[in-house]
């Protein structure tokens, strides 16, 4: 059983700050990594994918992958109240294995 572990949170950050989310995974052979955002009462929405070691930036989001350490992270720069949600880390073989999620609250 592939395991994906995330900081349980909740994570509270002031508006404009950087939110840092961490995720570790157990399967060293994993190749594809995703971050999903889930608003309360809604379904998960894909916000980032990363496949190679290093950083990948998309707007205010940066995903970081270190396969040697089996670690993937998500940075949210200039956090906005609309970023308040649960963020799910997912690792894909032929199916996605999800972490339990980290709830982020951005205080105005």
Partner 1 sequence: GAGVSQSPSNKVTEKGKDVELRCDPISGHTALYWYRQSLGQGLEFLIYFQGNSAPDKSGLPSDRFSAERTGGSVSTLTIQRTQQEDSAVYLCASSPGSGQGLYGYTFGSGTRLTVV
| Nearest CA-CA partner of 60 in 8, 7, 10, 18 | 18
Is 82 strand, coil or helix?
Answer: helix
Selected from 21, 23, 44, 73, the binder of partner 1 by CB under 8 A is 44
**Does 88 contact partner 1 by CB under 8 A?**
yes
Q: Rounded to an integer, what is the distance from CA 20 to the centroid of its chain?
A: 9
With respect to partner 1, which residue has the nearer C-beta, 28 or 95? 95
Q: How many CB atoms lie within 10 A of CB 63?
A: 23
Please give the size of the binding site for partner 1, defined by CB under 8 A: 23
Select 40 or 82, whichever has its Cβ closest to partner 1: 40
Q: Which residues bind partner 1 (CB under 8 A)?
A: 31-32, 34, 36, 42-46, 49, 51, 88, 90, 92-101
């Amino acid at each position: 059983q592939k395991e994906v572990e995330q900081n349980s949170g909740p994570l509270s950050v002031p508006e404009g700050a950087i939110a840092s989310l961490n995720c570790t995974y157990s399967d060293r052979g994993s190749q594809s990594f995703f971050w999903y955002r889930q608003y309360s009462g809604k379904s998960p929405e894909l916000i980032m994918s990363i496949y190679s070691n290093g950083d990948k930036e998309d707007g205010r989001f940066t995903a970081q992958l270190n396969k040697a350490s089996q670690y993937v992270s998500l940075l949210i720069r200039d956090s906005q109240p609309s970023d308040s949600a649960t963020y799910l880390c997912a690792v894909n073989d032929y199916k996605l294995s999800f972490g339990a999620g980290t709830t982020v609250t951005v205080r105005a």
